[in-house]
Amino acid sequence: MADDLLTTAIAHWGPRFTANGVDASDFASITAPLQSWGEWCQAWSTGAESYLELAAIALEQESTRTAGEHFARAATYFHFAKFLFVHDRDQARLASNRAADALTRALPHLDPAGERVEIPFRGQRLVGVVRIPQGPGPFPTVWLIPGLDSTKEELREVERSFLHRGMATFACDGPGQGEVEWYLPIEPDWSEVGEVVLRHLRTFDRVDDDRIGVWGVSLGAYYAARVAAAGLAVRATIALSGPYDFGAAWNGLNPLTRRAFQVRSGSSTMEEAALRAQDLTLEGVSGNITEPLLVIMGARDRLFPPTDGQRLANETVGPSEVWMLPEGNHGCANVINHHRSQSADWLARHLNA
């Protein structure tokens, strides 16, 4: 019989995996034999390795597009191997490194191709991937912000929705995320992160300085709102399933999520983590959001109260919309066709794509 942590992972995140690049049959075949959470990382890493093998075969056959697809899928599987596997840091870091390597190998073979970007920040670096449509540009650009347990390796399908509408994308691991989590803890106030990232994006000739938007999911939606409230040159923001006050939601979070926050915030105890969670709030800053904001929430979100989204929208002084999806879970991954394309259209309109 599967243990409680494993049951929690499978019950909460199955739709999310398949909405973000995991084949449904792979999800079933990888998770079905598992009996304990301790088996999770290795099982998903083994699944990722099968796609590295397929990528190698495709390269031998000079099928570079296929190779890129296989490398990108392998990166996603390695990411999901470690996404909440924080109790074994050695296994998790190996999977994290392999995810980054697989994605880097995929980038030249994607359409459009991607470029790995490292941005100096507080003596360390933020790491992201920029993809720009074919043509002279400059292009409107969307900065994609992952959440507590997501990373740039999970965002290929999200990128696709914006790229197909003539926008460039920049998926970036910030403090406490992906490659960056190993040396920078979670940062409650993203104004400095936003300033550094936006300054770097403007060094790309084919990025339109005046047409930059932000998209964030889960805790990344909170970060996106903090960037929007920082007075930076952001034209429009999408916040998908984010908390208004992470500390207020703390007691209702599942044990995997609480443990991940403890580790990625650099807290030595769960009690310290609960205190640090209180720093992640939009109270007192949401009123500084003056540009268009779209908030998307699922009425069946198990992590954050759906009312958080309405509260955020009500407190902004700029134009705001709330899309409340009645059947939506956290991240609305189970109703992906009811918001992903439509929200990309929304941002395309606001960025004049």
Buried b (16+ CB within 10 A) or exposed e, 295-317: bbbbeebebbbbebbbbbbebbe
> 71-80 pLDDT, tens per residue?
999 999 999 9
Tokens standing for residue 296: 């998307």
Count: domains in the chain: 2
The answer to whether residues 105 and 116 belong to one domain is no
Q: Which of 50, 77, 110 is the last residue of a domain?
A: 110
For the chain, what percent of residues have pLDDT higher than 70?
99
Stretch 23-49: mean pLDDT? 96
Stretch 287-302: mean pLDDT? 97
> 107-118 pLDDT, tens per residue?
999 999 999 999
The answer to whether residues 75 and 49 belong to one domain is yes
Instruction: Determine how many CB atoms are found less than 10 A away from the CB of residue 233.
Output: 13
The answer to whether residues 101 and 152 belong to one domain is no
Q: Edge-to-edge strands of the sheet including 207-217? A: 114-121, 124-131, 168-173, 139-145, 207-217, 236-240, 293-298, 320-325
- CATH number of the domain bearing residue 238: 3.40.50.1820
Instruction: Specify burial of residue 124 (Cβ count, 10 A radius: 0-12, 13-18, 19+).
Output: middle
On the question of pLDDT at 12 being above 80, the answer is no
For the chain, what percent of residues have pLDDT higher than 90?
95
Q: Which of 56, 80, 110 is the last residue of a domain?
A: 110
The answer to whether residues 168 and 35 belong to one domain is no
Q: Which of 58, 91, 110 is the last residue of a domain?
A: 110
**For 50, phi and psi rounded to 5 degrees?**
-65, -30
The answer to whether residues 143 and 285 belong to one domain is yes
What is the reported pLDDT for 1?
Answer: 42
pTM of the prediction?
0.97
Q: Which of 45, 150, 161, 218 is catalytic?
A: 218
Tokens standing for residue 302: 């198990």
Closest to 72 measured CA to CA, from 35, 108, 36: 108
Instruction: Round to whole Å and give the CA distance between 199 and 281.
Output: 25
The answer to whether residues 339 and 265 belong to one domain is yes
The answer to whether residues 5 and 79 belong to one domain is yes
The answer to whether residues 102 and 163 belong to one domain is no
The answer to whether residues 72 and 119 belong to one domain is no
Domain that holds residue 228: 111-353
Whether 303 and 257 have beta carbons less than 8 Å apart is answered as: yes
The answer to whether residues 88 and 21 belong to one domain is yes
On the question of pLDDT at 126 being above 90, the answer is yes
The answer to whether residues 262 and 335 belong to one domain is yes
Question: Is residue 218 among the annotated active site residues?
Answer: yes
- CATH number of the domain bearing residue 31: 1.20.1440.110
What is the reported pLDDT for 2?
Answer: 58
What is the reported pLDDT for 262?
Answer: 98
Stretch 50-70: mean pLDDT? 98
What is the reported pLDDT for 13?
Answer: 83
Instruction: Specify burial of residue 43 (Cβ count, 10 A radius: 0-12, 13-18, 19+).
Output: middle
On the question of pLDDT at 48 being above 50, the answer is yes
Instruction: Determine how many CB atoms are found less than 10 A away from the CB of residue 288.
Output: 18
